[in-house]
Each structure stands twice: as C-alpha cells, then as structure tokens.
A and B are shown apart, each in its own frame.
Chain A
Amino acid sequence: MTERFLGKDLLCLEPLTADQIRFILDTAEPFKEVSERTIKKVPTLRGKTIVNLFFEASTRTRISFEFAEKRLSADTVNVAASGSSVEKGETLVDTARNLEAMRIDMVVMRHPSSGAAQFLADRIRSNVVNAGDGTHEHPTQGLLDLLTLRDKFGRIEGLKVCICGDILHSRVARSNIWGLLKLGAQVAVCGPVSLLPLGIEDLGVTVFRRIEDAIQWADALNVLRIQLERMHAGFLPSLREYNRVFGVTVERLEKAPRDLVILHPGPMNRGVEIDSRVADGPHSVILGQVTNGVAVRMAVLYLLAGGRPEMAEAAKGRSGEASE
C-alpha cells in the first residue's frame, strides 16, 4: 500500500469507502476521551500550522475546528475572507499560492462555491479539509452525525434515517446521504418538492412528501435549517407555512410508533423547522452532535496529518517498536 489511507485531503464523503468512514469514526472514539480530561490536550500535532480559511461566516463550525486543532496542540490561524474571487479581488488561486508559500501544514476551508475545496486541494500541497463548499458537501458534519447515531443505536446498518428540510441547498444533506448509504442505512428525505433536487431518488433515497409519513417510517430525523433566503427566492411561500406543514413538533412526534431520535446540524430556527420542546427534549441528541463534532474533527486532522507508509516502515525498523 503506497497511498495514505485517507489521501491528502478530506473533501467529501462520496468517494470514501465504508471501511474508510468506519475507520474515521473508530478513530474519533479515543478523542472523545481527551475532551473529558482536565487537561484537554494531547501533543500530537504540536508544531503543525493550521489555517481556518472561512469565506462564509460561521461561528460554530469554526470554533469546533479551532478546539479540535488546539486540543491537538497545533498552531491555528483564523482567516475570515469575504465571498467569492470575483467580489474580493484576490482569486482563490492566489490565496492558495500564498498559503503554500507560508508553508501551512493544513487548511480548513469553508467557501460559498461548490467545488472550491477541491479547487484549492488540487493546487496546494497542504492537507485540505472541506468545512463546507457551497451546496456540495460538509463531510465532517456528515461524520459527526454518523458517530452520534452510532452512539445512540450501536450501529448504522439498517437504521432508518430521514433528512428533513431544504435538501436542494444542503451540503449537510448530501454528506449525510453518502455516509448513511455507504454504511448500510436506509435513507429518506422529506421536504417541499420545490426544495428537493432532481434525481434524488436515483441516489437510492426514498422521498416523503409529508412529514407525518416520514415520522411513521423513521428511527431518526435529521432536521435541517430553513433559511429566509429561500422564501425570498420563491422556493417556498413563507416560514410560517413551512412550520405548519413540515415542522417537527411534539404533537407530530407523539403519533410516531417509536421514540424518534432527533438530530439538527444547527443553528436552529426554533419554531420553524423544529419546536423548542423537541430540540430540548429527551430524544434530542443535538448537543451530543456538538461534542462529537470536536472529536471527529480531531480524528480527521490526526489521520490527514499522519504520515506516509514508507516513513512508518522506516520508523519501525529504527526503534523496533510497533505501535500498530
């Protein structure tokens, strides 16, 4: 095996194998423990420089990555850039070259254009982690959702998970769909047809047009945020109507044949896609997602920063100590 197990970058879940995904989740387990210690730090990535390059405002994801990086003892730099190349004046190509010239080890990037993470990864030698590119994928979110489901159910295979909301514009939905399908779950989506992408069934996903049907079927719901912009762009008439027709409410959940586990990538629009009593209720694992987020991101950074097989072989030969 002459390739790194995960490759140079983590850009999306679509090309990963089930084996690779499970491996990342397994690697996240010991990192959960690190976050429970008094001294929440391991020296593993000491001396590594990681840049958080966020072209879209995001507090929670950036903070989660920052904790992950600092708990691995890496040096982090946050760069908040505005919008696309066209608006900014400095092209993404130049940004990439500048980072490379500064000998950055890893870049965590969020960008409003689908494909931007791959664009950057193709042009710099540093590891690139996609923290969300346009409406394409948000792989670490997909992974932490999988980990949270696994924690709750003990497995992913055979689980019935329905993703609810604006699937068309959701990178979280796409990453979840890939991750869940690869690990053998049954996947459904539910939302207004105007917010469902063409060809979604061809990916192997069931479509529910009514939230009540989804609730009857599912073991878990991953509830996505509905954005005001969609209303302005004509995809749905109003947030009020969305809540009345698709909102995940206590009343609707009471009719479910079993206790549904509730996930939400955040930030929540309480009272729109999800009721407060559901979000704060006993079946919500939303806070667990946040905790797992740091562990998953630590695992990803650790695995990407890790070395090439030939260096491991050389190290083994030298000290004779195999640490697997």
Chain B
Amino acid sequence: MAKEIVEFAEGTDRLVLVGIHRRGPELSGRLARMIEAEEGVSIPRGTLDITLYRDDVGTIGPRPVVGATHLPENIDGKCVVIVDDVLHTGRTIRAALDEVADFGRPARIGLAALIDRGGRELPIQADIVGKAVRSGAGDRVDVFLQEVDGRDAVELVRGEGGGGR
C-alpha cells in the first residue's frame, strides 16, 4: 500500500497523509514510517475526526466522543491521501472530504483503505486498497491494531440472515 500511495502522489513532494480517527491515524503512522524508510523523506501527517460532519446529528447517540482534528499548516496544492481502516458505505469519506475542504484546497485528494468491504451507498472509491472483502449488510468487519487493541487482525463476522454475497 505504501508503494502505491507514493505512486499515486507521483512522489513524496506534495504528499500528506491524513488518518480518520479511530485507527486511521495509527495506520497512516505505519504507512508514513514505511515510506520514510524507503524514500528517506519525512511525510507530513494529520488526523481527522469526522463526527461533527456526519449527516445524521440525530443519531449520534447519547454519549458521542468527538476526537481531535489536526491538519498540517497548509494543505493548499498538496496531495492529501486520506487513510481509513474500513471502507463501507462511503459516508465517513464524504464527511472527511467536506472537512478537508474547510481547511484548504488540496491539488488532489486520494483515499487509501486497508479493507474495502463493498456496500457503497455513495459514489466513492478507494484509490489504494489493502484487501477487498465481500460482506453482507448484517456482517461486521473489524480491524484491530496493535497500537489501539493490542493485536493486529482483521475479523469478518457473518451476521445471521446476512449471508455473503
């Protein structure tokens, strides 16, 4: 994935990695280290919390936790690659696109997702995918990371009646 990201950005000059909160930042951290090891350049990184940009404030639940958002000083003209653990309906990415737009005008925005589980509700695609997985509406796809959960794993749990497609 790290290689594909560098290809996508046509080099590391303008590359900025932005992880979407909960596991995105940790993934983008690993990717940045890999790219740094390979290319010898330090990649600017940011984190995004999209809770405030969701299209459904009425469903945020009784105890929403809003995480921190930090973006590098200036993202104008840069190639911003958004990093997320699971791409599913695409709504999180739509919210992330809105939020990035409030910070500036990148030359290009791309999406790197560790897992693409299908089930899009919006016309959104990932430019870089770790692995594509087929899943049904009732299934759960969870990513576990050493930094957050103490182990590295991806689990697909079939729901009842969900039945794989």
Task: Point out residues on A near B: beta carbons under 8 Å.
Answer: 1, 3-5, 23, 26-27, 29-31, 33-34, 37-39, 41-45, 48, 302-303, 305-309, 311-315, 319-321, 323-324
Contacts and interface: CB of A to CB of B under 8 A. Distances in A.
A309 B88 contact: no
Given A27-B64, A30-B67, A38-B104, 8 more contacts: A30-B52, A30-B68, A41-B102, A306-B60, A306-B61, A306-B64, A319-B89, A323-B64
A306 B53 contact: no
B51 interface: yes
B57 A315 contact: no
A323 B92 contact: yes
B144 to A, nearest CB: 14
The B contact surface, by secondary structure, is loop
A320 B140 contact: yes
Nearest to A299: B66
Contacts of B22: 323-324
B63 interface: yes
Interface residues of B, number: 38
B60 A29 contact: no
Contact of A43 (B53, B60, B63): B53
A30 B54 CA distance: 15
A180 B88 CA distance: 44
B50 A323 contact: yes
Interface in B40-90: 49-54, 56-70, 86, 88-89
Given A42-B53, A323-B51, A324-B22, A309 B91 contact: no
A322 to B, nearest CB: 8
Ranked nearest first, the 5 interchain pairs of A and B with the lowest CB-CB distance are A312-B61, A315-B59, A5-B62, A42-B52, A307-B58
A306 B121 contact: no
B52 A311 contact: no
B56 A23 contact: no
A147 to B, nearest CB: 15
B52 A34 contact: yes
